[in-house]
Amino acid sequence: MSSVAQTALRWIEAGVDCAFVEIAEAQGSTPREAGAFMAVTQEDCVGTIGGGQMEFHAIERARDLLRDGRASESLDLALGPHLGQCCGGRVLLTIARATAAHARSFAEKENAVRVPEVFIFGAGHTGLALARALSLLPVRVRLVDDRADLRVNLPDNVAFQRIDDPAEALMEAPPRSAFVILTHSHALDYRLADAALRRGDAAYVGMIGSATKLARFRQWYRARGGAEAALAELVCPIGGKAVADKRPSVIAALTAAELIHRFLAVGAGENQANCEAGSNRREKAA
């Protein structure tokens, strides 16, 4: 899936007039945060600043700007009844005719945001369903399998890796990656879960299974000297226990939600830690 800035750059290089709409300031309750942006042409648009009447109004104004040949304008909008919205907040929007340099600047901002990486081990029914579900979300997805005869049909933004020993891909993954383990072999599942837990830097380690499989893995892991604290990080079954439906598409949807929740929680924790570290440095300097 192309980013908003990449799509805008392709439009510009093809000679299509385009404008960027960005939330410059957001106060109170708003659908999106400051920095959210979208790209608009007379016929199309990508990205979102929150949807609803606010976005429809911004798209109209962007198209008016392109039609009139103007360079830029600002909109100060209260999200109240006159816009058909009840958020109660306020946004300051900037609308600007896009240039290639403008698009590259937005692309740099997009690239500066760390995209979480999810490694899915096992290209069976549930692994494929999960890869497709995650392809729509702001994560980077890699599907890994050791079988040579596989034929997979995946979205363009999902990488597929066939490798004799999937543990090699796991050990080479960057820190704070997520590992979802659902291979064709319980023995391989155990070995991958063991390796993921021993890394100590995973954002998420999940293994498909039942209460019996989890109990047996725990016994197996402890017998090999695995740390109890690390074992507590294992998610099994994946997707939670609240819904009993075991169809691959349902498990995939629940697991995708679980992963996004975990990534957001990890990001919030890192931001809090960074803030506290900055505060400590300032106190020491004082």
Share of the chain above pLDDT 90, in %: 72
How far, CA to CA in Å, does 277 sit from each of 52, 271, 272, 280, 284? 39, 10, 9, 5, 11
Residue 218's pLDDT is: 96
Residue 198, token pair as written in the block: 């021993």
Q: What is the band of 88 on the pLDDT scale with cuts at 50, 70, 90? A: low
Separation CA 256–CA 239 (nearest Å): 8
Contact 122, 181 (CB under 8 A): yes
pLDDT digits (tens, 9 = 90+) for 106-118: 888 877 777 889 9
- Domains along the chain with CATH numbers: 4-112 (no CATH), 117-267 (3.40.50.720)
pTM for the whole structure: 0.72
Contact 50, 32 (CB under 8 A): yes
**pLDDT at residue 283 tops 80:** no
Judged by average pLDDT, the poorest of 1-5, 82-86, 130-134, 281-285 is 281-285
Q: What is the band of 273 on the pLDDT scale with cuts at 50, 70, 90? A: very low
The reply to whether omega before 237 is within 30° of 0 (cis) is yes
Q: What are the residues whose beta carbons fall under 8 Å from the beta carbon of 162, sequence distance 6 or more? A: 144, 145, 146, 147, 148, 150
What is the crossing angle of helices 4-13 and 100-112, to 10°?
A: 160
